[in-house]
Amino acid sequence: MSLLIDDNCINCDVCEPECPNSAISMGPNIYVIDPNLCTECIGHYDTPQCMEVCPVDCISKDPDHAESAEQLQSKFRQLTGQA
C-alpha cells in the first residue's frame, strides 16, 4: 500500500529529501506522494522514512492504493532496474 499525506501537512520540507524513490513532491497546497513510485521504503529501509521524520504525523497508508509487501518489493525491483 502506498502512503498518503493528509491535510495536516505543514509543508515543513523534511519528507521530500528522505524518499529514496523520489515519490514525494509539492502538490497544489501540500506535499503529495505518487503511488506509482512509493514502495513504503521496502527494498531501501525497514520503515518508511517519510513517516519517521514527519513532525506532525500526517502520513499514513493510502487505502485507495492497497499493495502487499510482495507487490511493493516487486515495484522496488522494477524502479531500481533489479527486475
In three state form, how does the secondary structure of 27-49 look?
CCCCEEECCCCCCCCCCCCCCCH
DSSP letters of 55-74? TT--EEE-TTS---HHHHHH
Q: Which domain holds residue 58?
A: 3-80
Comparing CA positions, the residue from 42, 28, 32 lying closest to residue 71 is 42
Total number of domains constituting the chain: 1
Who's near 51: CB < 8 A, 6+ residues apart? 3, 57, 59
The CATH number of residue 17's host domain is 3.30.70.20
Interval 2-59: pLDDT, tens: 999 999 999 999 999 999 999 999 999 999 999 999 999 999 999 999 999 999 999 9
Asked if residue 82 has pLDDT above 90, the reply is no
